């Protein structure tokens, strides 16, 4: 779910099938209309395929550009694509004109394609790719620096460097490294399911779905390698693709199967001024439906608390333009988190 720029209490809610709904909230309830139906273009058959995310260009109120990440099935292969589309002149629906494909990344086992794309505070488009499977990443995709799989990618959609439909930012860490795709910003991920930028600090927070033992949250920086499948969380996983001299960045936080088995990344709360939740990163677990709050001090994890649960499978978080946070339930309900009566040092948010 994303707020629609320029529309008070207006949101876009994405469905896996390729349908995007525009929801307008009011004191009397809500109205719902179809923003776009792209189901004929989106591959959605089973598992974590389909329409994965949407990002508005930072200047979309003027240029009407927005971007989608979704799967296609072409030539007998499932692939992930990033597509540029246009808003209508009144910014209330898709313009209905054909999209422009920027990039296609083939999958191996139809799994682990990641689930997010966002514009960073630098104006560049970031999107995460998982290893695409199979389980355990037996082919070593995430550690293969010659592939886009298992990576955080960063591109400039305001310029082109033919034959690419985009440009490579000049400070991308591997722009001039032979044999390494210049789109790569960071590597070593299994299935990054939602990432976000802290609007106050610019920090990039990512949740990466684990394999057998743990789920993890990372702060991702330029050129880092986050370890999969040499590491799962803080724990060694396999030496098959370990290379001498390669350094790995540990996560900020990881939890075991006692607390859940499919992490969903969220946002840093920057809503109500003076709230004890200011600066707290919220994430949760799809299966256990727990919501966790993490707070750093000096860049190091200081506090972790379970602050509540959600009635449905926790598939995504959302943040509106005022900084309010929402939880998207897999069964179709969206919940707003009320921080008002709560304190991060003890009480439970609802």
Confidence bin at 29 (pLDDT 50/70/90): confident
| pLDDT at residue 346 in the model | 59
215 Cβ partners below 8 Å, 6+ apart? 207, 208, 209, 233, 254, 255, 259, 260, 261, 262, 263, 285
CB atoms within 10 A of CB 153: 24
Looking at per-residue pLDDT, the higher value among 125 and 299 belongs to 125
Average pLDDT, stretch 70-77? 93
Which of 29, 133, 43 is closest to 83 using CA atoms? 43
- Whether the per-residue pLDDT at 350 is higher than 80: the answer is no
Q: What residue segments make up the domains of the chain, in order of their start? A: 269-350
Q: What is the pLDDT of residues 149-208, one digit of tens each?
A: 999 999 999 999 999 999 999 999 999 999 999 999 999 999 999 999 999 999 999 999
Q: Within 13 Å and on the Cβ side, how many CA atoms surround 143?
A: 23
CB atoms within 10 A of CB 274: 5
The full DSSP string for 288-334 is T-EEEEEEEETTEEEEEEEEEE-SS-EEEEEE-TT--EEEEETTS-E
Calpha distance 343→339 (Å, rounded): 8
| pLDDT at residue 232 in the model | 97
Q: What is the pLDDT of residues 317-329, one digit of tens each?
A: 999 999 999 999 9
């Amino acid at each position: 779910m994303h707020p629609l720029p320029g529309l008070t209490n207006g949101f876009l809610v994405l469905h896996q099938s390729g349908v995007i709904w525009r929801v307008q909230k009011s004191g009397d309830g809500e109205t719902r209309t179809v923003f776009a139906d792209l189901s004929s273009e989106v591959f959605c058959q089973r598992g974590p395929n389909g329409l994965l995310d949407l990002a508005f260009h930072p200047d979309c109120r003027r240029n009407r550009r927005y971007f989608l990440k979704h799967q296609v099935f072409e030539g007998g292969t499932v692939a992930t694509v990033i597509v540029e589309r246009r808003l209508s002149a009144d910014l209330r629906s898709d313009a209905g004109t054909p999209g422009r494909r920027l990039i296609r990344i083939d999958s191996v086992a139809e799994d682990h394609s990641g689930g997010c794309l966002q514009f960073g505070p630098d104006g560049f488009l970031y999107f995460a790719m998982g290893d695409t499977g199979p389980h355990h990443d037996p082919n070593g995709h995430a550690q293969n620096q010659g592939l886009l799989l298992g990576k955080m990618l960063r591109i400039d959609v305001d310029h082109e460097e033919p034959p690419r439909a985009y440009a490579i930012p000049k400070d991308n860490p591997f722009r001039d490294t032979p044999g390494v795709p210049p789109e790569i910003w960071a590597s070593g991920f299994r299935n990054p399911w939602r990432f976000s930028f802290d609007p106050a600090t610019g920090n990039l927070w990512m949740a990466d779905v684990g394999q057998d033992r743990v789920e993890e949250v990372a702060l991702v920086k330029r050129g880092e390698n986050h370890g999969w499948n040499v590491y799962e969380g803080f724990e060694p996983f396999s030496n098959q693709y370990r290379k001498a001299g390669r350094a790995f960045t540990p996560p900020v936080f990881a939890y075991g199967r006692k607390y859940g088995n499919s992490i969903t990344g969220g946002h840093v709360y920057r809503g109500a001024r003076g709230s004890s939740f200011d600066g707290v990163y919220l994430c949760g677990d799809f299966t256990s439906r727990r919501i966790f709050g993490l707070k750093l001090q000096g860049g190091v994890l200081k506090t972790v608390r379970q602050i509540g649960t959600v009635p449905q499978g926790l598939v995504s978080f959302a943040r509106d333009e005022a900084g309010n946070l929402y939880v998207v339930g897999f069964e179709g309900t969206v919940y707003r988190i009320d921080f008002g009566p709560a304190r991060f040092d003890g009480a439970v948010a609802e």
